[in-house]
Amino acid sequence: MSDALEEFGWRGLVAQTTDIDGLRAQLASGPTSVYIGFDPTAPSLHIGHLMQTFSLRRFQLAGHRPVPLVGGATGLIGDPKPAGERTLNESDVVAGWGERIREQLSQFLDFTPGPTGAVIANNYEWTQPLSTLDFLRDIGKHFSVNRMLDRDAVATRLAAGGISYTEFSYVLLQSMDYLELFRRYDVRLQVGGSDQWGNITAGIDLVRRVEGVGVHALTTPLLAKSDGTKFGKTEGGTIWLDPELTSPYAFYQYWVNADDADVSNLLRTFSFRSREEIEALDEATTARPAERAGQRALAEELTTAVHGEQHTARVTAASQALFGRGALADLDAGTLTAAMLEAPNAEVPANAVPSVTDLFVAVGLSASRGEARRAVTEGGAYLNNVRVSDPDAVPTAEDLMPGGWLVLRRGKRTFGGVRVSR
C-alpha cells in the first residue's frame, strides 16, 4: 500500500511532505483515509482539479480510502487570493454549486462499501450548527495570530493593502475540516496543491493540539505550461468538466493541441497508463511529432474519463472528418456544432447564401475575394471535404451538414464553418 508514494514520486507529483518516512509507515500499515477539499467557487470543476481528483483515485487504487470534501462552508468564505478580496456568493448559489461538484467527484471514485470505499463529506454539515462562541473557544484558541500573519497569502495581501477578517479566518475553517474528518473517518493524510501547504500544516497542528495525534500532508506541484502560461486556460477561457460549459469536442481538442514540450509531463500527471506505456508514448512523440501520439492518447483517455466512451467516439470521429478522413454527414449535430464554434465561423440566412468565394472571406479563411478565388483555382479549397472547382458555386440546401453547417477547409488543416439559419 505504500507503493502509492512510489507512484507519486516517478510521476513527479510530490512537492512537499511533512514526514516522508512517517507517511510511508502510515500507508504501509493498512488502508488509510485520504482527503482533499474542493471549494464550490464556480458551478463546475475544471481541468486543474483533475490532478487532485486523480490523486484520490491513485490512492484508492493503491488500497486506501478517498474522502473528497465539498467545501459548502469554506466556499462561502474563500481562500485568500493574492489579487484581492473575493466576491462572496449567495448561500443558495454555493449550495447548488456544491451539489454539482459532488456529482462530478462521484464519477471518478469507487463507492463500494468497504475499507477502501470512497466517502464524500461536506464541511457545511459541521460548520453551520457551530456557534461563534464555540468556534472561538474550541478552534480559535489554538491559533497564533503571529503565525497566521506570516502565511504567504496573508502577507501578500497585507502588503497590497489589507485583508478582511473573513478571508483571514479561512485557515481556521480548513484546519477544522482536518480535525473533523480525523474524528469522523480517521483521516490521516490531506493532499492538496503546493499553494495549500500553509492551510494543510495548520490543520495538522490543530489535530496534534486537540487530539494528540500526528497526521500527514502531501502536496502536488502547481502545474504550468513550458512557455510559462497558466495551465487550463485558453483564449476562450477555462476548460471546465461540465459539458454545458466546455463541450466534449473542445475538451478533447485542448489535450490534442498540447505542446510537445508539455505532453510528457501531462501524461505523468493525468494518465493512469503505466510507466512503460508513458515512456513508449514519449519516444513516439519525439520520433514522430506530427502523429501527436502522446496528445491523442491523453485526449482519448481523459475525454473518456470525464465525458464517457460515447462522447469520445463522437469527438474523435469529428476530428477525423474535419480533416477529410471521415464522413461529415455521419456526425451528430451537437458534436459538429461544438467543433464549428471552436473554429472560425459565420452565419448567413438561408435565402441569401453567397458563393463559395464569399463564404471563405466571411469565415476568414481568405483575406480577400481574389485570394479565395486563387485558393479554388489552385485546388486548395474544400466544401464539406469535397474540392471546389468553381469559385462562383453557390451551396444549396442539399449541401448542409448536421446542424445546418457548411464546412469549409483550406489546405489540409485550416477549416471553418458557416451556419445557414432558417
Nearest residue to 342 (alpha-carbon basis) of 264, 263, 256, 261 = 256
Which residue in this structure is represented by grid cell 467543433? Answer: 339
Chain-centre distance of CA 415, in angstroms?
Answer: 27
Nearest residue to 13 (alpha-carbon basis) of 63, 50, 67 = 50
Which numeric CATH code is attached to 3-220?
A: 3.40.50.620
pLDDT at 235: 66
Question: How many Å apart are CA 78 and CA 88, to the nearest integer?
Answer: 8
Examine domains 3-220 and 326-422 and report if their fold is the same: no
What does the domain layout of the chain look like in residue ranges?
3-220, 225-307, 326-422
Nearest residue to 54 (alpha-carbon basis) of 220, 254, 262 = 220
Over residues 21-51, the pLDDT tens digits come to 999 999 999 999 999 999 999 999 999 999 9
Contact 68, 49 (CB under 8 A): no
- DSSP string covering 330-381: GS-HHHHHHHHHHS-EEEEEGGG---HHHHHHHHTSSSSHHHHHHHHHTT-E
pLDDT at 226: 80
- 62 three-class SS: coil
Contacts of 228 (CB under 8 A, 6+ apart): none
163: left (phi over 0), alpha (psi -120 to 50) or beta: beta
Which residue in this structure is represented by grid cell 459565420? Answer: 346
CA-derived radius of gyration, the chain:
26
Contact 34, 189 (CB under 8 A): yes
| High-pLDDT (> 90) share of the chain, % | 84
pLDDT at 324: 86
- DSSP string covering 3-56: HHHHHHHHTT--SEES-HHHHHHHHHTS--EEEEEE--SSSS-BGGGHHHHHHH
Over residues 299-327, the pLDDT tens digits come to 999 999 999 999 999 999 999 999 888 89
Contact 36, 191 (CB under 8 A): yes
Nearest residue to 177 (alpha-carbon basis) of 154, 204, 214, 146 = 204
Residues in the chain, overall count: 422
Residues of the chain with pLDDT under 50: none
Q: Enumerate the β-bridge partners of residue 406.
A: 418
Q: How many CB atoms lie within 10 A of CB 413?
A: 9
Decide: pTM greater than 0.85.
yes
Kindly tell me the sign of the dihedral angle through the C-alpha atoms of 41, 143, 204, 230.
Answer: positive
- DSSP string covering 300-342: HHHHHHHH-HHHHHHHHHHHHHHTTSS-GGGS-HHHHHHHHHH
The second-level CATH assignment, the architecture, of 326-422 is Roll (3.10)
pLDDT at 233: 67
Contact 2, 27 (CB under 8 A): yes
| Sequence letter at residue 86 | R
223: which 3 cell numbers? 502545474
pLDDT at 368: 96
Q: How many CB atoms lie within 10 A of CB 213?
A: 11
pLDDT at 298: 97
Question: How many Å apart are CA 122 and CA 27, to the nearest integer?
Answer: 25
Q: Enumerate the β-bridge partners of residue 346.
A: 418
| Sequence letter at residue 32 | T
The answer as to CATH 1.10.240.10 being correct for domain 225-307 is yes
| Sequence letter at residue 366 | S
* E strands in 127-176: none
Nearest residue to 305 (alpha-carbon basis) of 254, 253, 251, 237 = 251
